[in-house]
Amino acid sequence: MNEAAIENKGEIKQWNPKIIAFLCNWCSYAGADLAGVSRIQYPPTIRVVRVPCSGRINPFFIIKSLMDGWDGVVVSGCHPGDCHYISGNLVARRRFAILKDLLDFFGIEPERVQFMWASAAEGERFAVLIKKITKLMRKVGPNDRFKKKW
Amino acid sequence: MVILMGNIQEENKNIEHSMKEVAYNLLKNKEVDLIIGYAKGTIPLSSSPSFIINQKDVDNLIWDNLCHVNLARYVVPPITKIIDNENIPLKVGIVSKGCVGRSLIHLAKENQVNLENIKIIGISCNGIINRKRIEKELGEKEIIELSVMNSEIIAKGVDFVKTFFFDDYLNESCKKCKIKAPPMVSSQSNVIVGGSVESSSGEDDFSDLTEHESKTPEEKWQTIVELLSPCTRCYACREACPMCYCNLCFVDQNKPIWFGKTTDMSDIVSFHLVRAMHVAGRCVACGSCSSACPMGIDLTFITRKLEKIVKQRFDFTSGLSFDILPPMMTQKMNDKEDFMIGEH
Amino acid sequence: MTDKILKKEEIEKFYLDLSRYFNFFAPTKENGNIVFKKITDPCEIIFDFLNSKVPPKEIVFPRMETLFTYKINGKEIEIEPVNNLNEKYLIFGIRPCDAYSFNLLENFFASGKFQDDIFIEKRKNTILIGMGCNTPRQTCFCTSLDHGGHPHRMDDVDIFLTDLGDKYLMRSISKMGKAIIDKLAWLSDAQRKDVAKAVELSKKAEELIKTKVDLENIAETLKPHFDHPLWKEISENCLGCGTCAFLCPTCTCFDVIDENDHYNNRGKRIRLWDTCQFCIYTTHASGHNPRKSKIERCRNRILHKFSYYPKNYGMLGCVGCGRCIQSCPVNNDLRVIIHKIKNLEKEKIEVKIIAT
């Protein structure tokens, strides 16, 4: 049994956050795919939405996800300079910087919304970061403050 | 542009006088077709934006510490007149305090106004009174007359007289405002008539935000909920904002419906959050949104944070220059990445 | 009919007796504004107030109201009403102008072919305890209205209170009000001098209303001026924020939307306040908008209140509370607008035409 599996086994009784992951088609989605093909284990907390580019992510998506009750949001794109559309990820980075500061100001834990870069070759990095994010999210707990009450 | 303490009413008179003179000459020399300024309101604690085309009406213009509406709001979309079946834009002179001037410059940068058709009648603003706060503090007493005298705001009612210290009862954004008059932009110097200042933003320590920022997320959320809970979703903040000129606002979009229009707290917060997001790097902190709010929500609390984020992250202050692109219109390879998650 | 006296220190008892049967709504302070809210502690009630920021219509016609919820189960849709229509409401301290506005709301919701069951039930279960204005605002103009508006108008409430300083003179107006007063046996009878004082206060309050708005034949005056350039002048500094309509006690427009909870196959239909001042209010599905600029929208608000309303229901669609004057961020004063309209008739006033 490998390390990840042991870790997973120990986590069975733990609360698993539900994280929505917006992955860019060209790097991070392929990176996640590589993690899968290479059988690198990471916690089953993310649900993937494939988008053309991290620049496609409207802050609406992130806020709406939180309102819909997702415990966390991850956005992942190509490393700066590697964007398939030249500067989509750089535009996104500015947007996310402001969004993250604002969310923090509004009292939504900054840990809930995470941004990362992962290239198509970085399956390992992708798995490590998702593990890290899941850990952080467990610390923060479920998102019930911003979730729309029914 | 130093405010002489204790001479606010005198200063207002001087501003008013020179403003009228400039406006009169602009109309007389046919440099503009229309002057947008402020006229006296019919109730205390109010002022009314006024559109003037005749020289004789210039006398109706006033300047006092209640002229809170951002007049840049009225020139997007441009005011036009149909002459011979053609839509001809009018030349407009706008009475501009610092923030109105900045809005116009920023709107020009976004290609929303054509500065060729605009004359900025610059005046050096000495702060806008936070009328909502005065109303709230007086509670259930009606003000019949309000005047500013020697660094004090005097509110008179039927059976009471109450004074407020002028500097304490300004809009939160006005208290920290460093740009009192429209900034002088070298390439467009002919646009500005009247007073102006060198375009520099000065230092701002954002000390008013430290208290909130040091709170835990739970406490921050509580503060925000307390601040926004009276919101009735009338969108007066949006309509009063010169930067909110979208044809269809995101809350009005219904294909698909993005954000609920209900008064559920999560809907209210998301509206204000996304609106803040949309005016980030564009907001000039005029405080027009708070003054317009019928429920007296102090939205400058949020716009101050926007100013801070944009200043600290991108070293940008909106509406000061034609040469620097606003942060959300551009990007840099070496932008800070401290907010992103990495392996270490 | 004998008038009763409610001493101010007896309010607690009054509250405890009535809150057993009713949801007791009373003016209270929230975030610095006066609002009508359900009270859980009689100490929260504010007696010395001018008028609430948001009109008490929000109790029977709330800002947001769920009409029903639905569950989707395969191809079947299950609909469940959510409103508990048996709840009883009591609005304590409602001002005469706001009480009169309930009649106007009834016109809209409860007359004609289409009737609103939720509103009708709620209205039926609502008791109004009015309170006369001893200190009307500068912007109040209820006395100018043709329904006999008065700061101490009693006709629209069930029980009417007059503030006599340390006590209230209590008068039952409707049968329901009488039944309530009869139940409260501990109330003391009013002396003749108390009644006299109330009459005096009523007169004094009327004199305090200095604002006179000439509304005579306003509907007739408005009729020929639909395309008058005056509307441009009136609307030129309007921001289109809709504050005037949101805080109006007589405005009844609403928007109906479905909120879907697609994760759980359920949803609800919600009614929300809407206003003719918004550009999307009249936007058609095709994208065409018959009221495309604020000129038409501003005109619609005035015409609806002062021309269409009299035509449809035989009364003016305004109660003279002055909230729109108080809250307009650009001070687009209704009194000035009506004055301008009235002057159209008297003399050909010069209307400045700025833009087209």
Per-residue pLDDT tens digits for A63-87: 999 999 999 999 999 999 999 999 9
Q: Which of C166, C184, C208 is the last residue of a domain?
A: C208
Is residue C171 located within the same domain as residue C96?
yes
Q: Is the pLDDT of residue B187 over 70?
A: no
Residue C272 and residue B239: Cβ atoms within 8 Å? no
Is residue C131 located within the same domain as residue C233?
no
For residues C50-70, average pLDDT: 92
Is residue C100 located within the same domain as residue C118?
yes
Alpha carbon of C194: minimum distance to chain A alpha carbons (Å): 51
**Residues of chain A contacting residue C263, judged by C-beta atoms under 8 Å apart:** 68-69
Are C89 and C25 spatial neighbours (Cβ–Cβ below 8 Å)?
yes
Structure confidence by residue, pLDDT tens digits, C73-121: 988 999 998 877 888 999 999 999 999 999 999 999 998 888 998 999 9
> Which 194-213 residues of chain B touch chain A by CB within 8 A?
212-213
**Residues of chain A contacting residue B332, judged by C-beta atoms under 8 Å apart:** 90
Q: Would you kindly state where each structural domain of chain A is located, as residue ranges?
A: 3-7+16-140
Is residue C231 located within the same domain as residue C334?
yes
**Residue type, position B96, single letter:** S
B88 and C CB contact within 8 Å: no
**Residues of chain B contacting residue C247, judged by C-beta atoms under 8 Å apart:** 294
**Residues of chain C contacting residue A68, judged by C-beta atoms under 8 Å apart:** 263
Q: Which domain holds residue C341?
A: 218-262+273-346
Cα separation, C309 vs C248, in Å, equals 15
Residue B341 and residue A109: Cβ atoms within 8 Å? no
Structure confidence by residue, pLDDT tens digits, B99-148: 999 999 999 999 999 888 898 998 888 889 998 888 888 877 888 888 88
Is residue C195 located within the same domain as residue C257?
no
Please report the pLDDT score of residue B81 as a whole number: 86
Sign of the alpha-carbon dihedral angle for B15, B18, B21, B26:
negative
B250 and A CB contact within 8 Å: yes
> Which 210-249 residues of chain B touch chain C by CB within 8 A?
226, 229-230, 232-236, 238-240, 248
C72 and B CB contact within 8 Å: no
Q: Is the pLDDT of residue A2 over 50?
A: no
B326 and A CB contact within 8 Å: no
Is residue C238 located within the same domain as residue C293?
yes
Model confidence at C23, pLDDT cuts 50, 70, 90, reads very high
Are B115 and B189 spatial neighbours (Cβ–Cβ below 8 Å)?
no
Alpha carbon of A14: minimum distance to chain B alpha carbons (Å): 23
The ipTM estimated for the assembled molecules is 0.89
Is residue C257 located within the same domain as residue C180?
no
Please report the pLDDT score of residue B322 as a whole number: 83
Interface size, chain A vs chain C, as Cβ–Cβ contacts under 8 Å? 5
**Residues of chain B contacting residue C255, judged by C-beta atoms under 8 Å apart:** 261
Is residue C185 located within the same domain as residue C236?
no
Q: Is residue C354 part of a domain?
A: no
**Residues of chain B contacting residue C66, judged by C-beta atoms under 8 Å apart:** none
Is residue C184 located within the same domain as residue C330?
no
Report the residue of chain C nearest B82, measured CA to CA: C356
> Which 115-144 residues of chain C touch chain B by CB within 8 A?
135, 137-139
**Residues of chain A contacting residue C266, judged by C-beta atoms under 8 Å apart:** 150
Interface size, chain A vs chain B, as Cβ–Cβ contacts under 8 Å? 119
Report the residue of chain B nearest A127, measured CA to CA: B343
Residue A80 buriedness (CB in 10 A; 0-12 / 13-18 / 19+): middle
Cα separation, C262 vs C274, in Å, equals 25
Please report the pLDDT score of residue B245 as a whole number: 92
Residue B328 and residue A99: Cβ atoms within 8 Å? no
Report the residue of chain C nearest B294, measured CA to CA: C327
Q: Give the HSE-up count for residue C230: Cα atoms under 13 Å, Cβ half-sphere.
A: 20
Cα separation, B237 vs B297, in Å, equals 10
Alpha carbon of C190: minimum distance to chain B alpha carbons (Å): 29
DSSP state of B72: G
Q: Is residue C77 part of a domain?
A: no
Nearest to B277 among A80, A99, A129 (CB): A99
Is residue C188 located within the same domain as residue C229?
no
Element holding B149 (H helix, E strand): strand B145-149
Cα separation, B133 vs B131, in Å, equals 5
A93 and B CB contact within 8 Å: yes
Please spell the DSSP secondary structure of B106-129, one letter per residue: HHHHTTSS-GGGEEEEE------B
Is residue C204 located within the same domain as residue C227?
no
Structure confidence by residue, pLDDT tens digits, C158-208: 999 999 988 999 999 999 999 999 988 888 888 899 999 999 999 999 999
Model confidence at A6, pLDDT cuts 50, 70, 90, reads very low
Residue ranges of alpha helices (H) inside B29-87 are none
Residue C280 and residue B74: Cβ atoms within 8 Å? no
Sign of the alpha-carbon dihedral angle for B265, B267, B269, B272:
negative
**Residue type, position B58, single letter:** V
Quickly count helices (H) and strands (E) in chain C. 13, 12
B343 and A CB contact within 8 Å: yes
Q: Is residue C340 part of a domain?
A: yes
For residues A34-40, average pLDDT: 95
Answer whether CATH 3.40.47.10 is correct for domain A3-7+16-140.
no
Number of folded domains that form chain C:
2
Residue of B295, B297, B299, B301 to mutate, testing the C interface (most C Cβ within 10 Å of its Cβ): B295
Residue ranges of alpha helices (H) inside B190-299 are 207-213, 217-228, 236-240, 265-279, 288-292
C261 and A CB contact within 8 Å: yes
Are C98 and C25 spatial neighbours (Cβ–Cβ below 8 Å)?
no
Cα separation, A43 vs A23, in Å, equals 17
Q: Which of C189, C208, C227 is the last residue of a domain?
A: C208
Mean of per-residue pLDDT scores for chain B:
88
For chain B, give the number of residues. 344
> Which 43-82 residues of chain A touch chain B by CB within 8 A?
59-60, 63-64, 67, 80-81
Structure confidence by residue, pLDDT tens digits, C265-294: 999 999 999 999 998 899 998 989 999 888
pTM of the entire structure? 0.92
